[in-house]
Amino acid sequence: LRDDPGQESRLLAVAAVPEGLTAITTVVLSLGTQRMARRRMIVRKLAAVETLGSTTVICSDKTGTLTRNEMTVRVVTTASGRVDLTGVGYAPGGEALHDGRPLADPALVEEVRRLLHAAERASNATLHEVDGRWEVQGDPTEGALVVAAQKLGIARPAEEAHLSRVGEIPFSSERKLMSTAYADAREEDRAVVLAKGAPDVLLARCSAEWVGSAPRPLTDERRRAILAVVEDLAGEALRTLGVAGRVVQVATVADDMPEDVEQELVFLGVVGMIDPPRDEARASVQTAREAGIRAVMITGDHPTTAAAIAAELGIVDPGIGAVTGADLDRLDDEELRRVARTSSTYARVAPSDKLRIVRALQAENEIVAMTGDGVNDAPALWTADIGVAMGITGTDVAKGAADMILTDDNFASIVAAVEEGRSIFANIQKFLRYLLSSNASEVLVMFFGVVLADVIGLLPETGSAVAAPLLATQILWINLVTDSGPALALGVEPDDPGLMQKPPRDPRSRVIDRAMWFDIIYVGVIMAVGTLLVADWALPGGLIDGDGTLRYAQTMTFTTLVFAQLFNVLNARSDERSAFAGLFTNRWLWGALVLSVLLQIAVVYLPFLQRAFGTVDLSPSDWLVCVGVGSTVLWLRETAKLVTRWR
């Protein structure tokens, strides 16, 4: 080294730089996103993968995400009573029951037929029969109404040829109402307006109620009674929908249907539908809770329905009500922050309310994942720490604003993505711990090897030059063999047991914290000390007198450091768990270790590689020394882990 002063700095640079770090990080993130895609989550922005591990709140829609999105009409209530509808989903069959018996009351029959006729005509969904099965195209809620009407033999196309749609006021989350207008060919100047929407909203626009075969004025007492029925149905976890209609002049709706036609309506009744919770949703909510993540349900449904579903899923305890959009309107930002700390169910909310909820949670230092599907959800998706767009029902605008796209619209997939995000981040820390400690050992071996030889005199000198413990080509080989395959295998390490029982990672924490730096230095020193002792043992003089040549000593040093780093791979699988726990769960890791050992044997014995890397043959006893000293890093680190677990 005295003959070439610049060689020392070049060797240290080669030893210090983990050349594969960037490539391995990219590969691990890419493999992680592929696994997430297999679990129904497509990542649009790679940075979101890291944020997933810090998520503390998941704000989710109800319909289709926490529930099956298979709406089925179960109850119809009119002025004359309640009718229960049987049947499963969109399957043909089922009947109408009143007080447990087939529906026979003429007045009730007329009211139910009129209500379902109006509800079916106020919808845009269509029903098709395919191979004896019914399939709905369109909104599931509207599909349930069409199916219910079809089951009772209402609205046959041949019987409705005289009706033609002439106008529509579409549903919006602000209006919570949809209306259509139909002209009747049998009556030239008249049209019928049919409306459906939130019962409380629709009831406020009604002045009469259909009873039997004629309308009657709607009294305050009846309004209260209808709202009480709505509350009862919502308490049964049924989603409620009011239906109403009126007759107007065709000219009123022919060109541009005004919203004032939605006044002075005749109330026809209430439909109770159920969208059963997904079987896996409750388990996912519980998994999220164990992981320190709060599930928050945001829906446009009735507050009682929302509270009942939330309690059934385990989002809230039974008896805890929902915060409504009207409640939010009365709260300023500071008051909303206080509400957001504890409230996990929101009902009758508008898209603008979602944005306020996200901001309130973020103001409380929560890391928020928000789901959405509509155009109006885009601001909330953009503002949330992780925006999750629905892949099935989501609009292009929502998908463009989101960080991730949920291909099956399933809450369980969001929780699975959080678990995958935690696993990816943990694996990145594993190979960082491994790469940096391994490179630290190389730096310490090179630096102190030169210092000990040149200053202290423990290692011998060869001629006028200080003997370098390793050649530059040998350091490059170590980085090639140990920093590539084994490090990459750590990046696909299976999830640690208990990964989802740990609290979310603090987003302000460093990837390499103080404890990890201590671990890196501790392990690096162990490997360096063992390797330098082997080097000293192999050469004449020094602390341990040997009788080998310089090439022999460098080969021993070289091989010992390789094995030390391979044993260190097992250490890096966890900073607390024993290396022997789940020892054979990662077949890629063992494949990389076996390949690395075979390559090291080749570089020691094959003549052309010996010339390239300056190695000599080693005896079996030499291999035992290299492996034995190299394994000390495993045993000493295991001892430290044992102390950590005991503490």
Catalytic residues: 61
DSSP helix/strand/coil, 491: coil
Do 76 and 269 touch, CB atoms closer than 8 A? yes
Question: Which tokens hold the place of 396?
Answer: 């292009």
Backbone dihedral angles phi then psi of residue 409, each to the nearest 5 degrees: 55, 35
Do 459 and 536 touch, CB atoms closer than 8 A? yes
H helices within 324-410, ranges in order?
A: 325-329, 333-342, 351-363, 378-383, 396-401
Do 268 and 243 touch, CB atoms closer than 8 A? yes
- Number of residues assigned to the chain: 647
How far apart, in whole angstroms, are the C-alpha atoms of residue 180 and residue 201?
Answer: 17
DSSP string, 95-118: -EEETTEE---HHHHHHHHHHHHH
Q: Which of 511, 424, 487, 505 is nearest to 36 (CA)?
A: 424
Question: What are the angstrom distances between the C-alpha of 195 and each of 316, 360, 430, 455?
Answer: 34, 35, 60, 93
Do 164 and 173 touch, CB atoms closer than 8 A? no
How far apart, in whole angstroms, are the C-alpha atoms of residue 554 and residue 602?
Answer: 16
Question: Which tokens hold the place of 602?
Answer: 């080749």
H helices within 39-167, ranges in order?
A: 47-52, 106-121, 140-151
Pairing verdict, β 265-274 and 239-249: antiparallel
How far apart, in whole angstroms, are the C-alpha atoms of residue 14 and residue 2?
Answer: 19
Do 336 and 360 touch, CB atoms closer than 8 A? yes
How far apart, in whole angstroms, are the C-alpha atoms of residue 169 and residue 524?
Answer: 71
How far apart, in whole angstroms, are the C-alpha atoms of residue 627 and residue 124?
Answer: 74
How far apart, in whole angstroms, are the C-alpha atoms of residue 199 and residue 314?
Answer: 27
DSSP helix/strand/coil, 638: helix
Spacing of C-alpha 606 from chain mean position = 50
Question: Which tokens hold the place of 352?
Answer: 């603008």
DSSP helix/strand/coil, 82: strand
How far apart, in whole angstroms, are the C-alpha atoms of residue 85 and residue 102?
Answer: 10
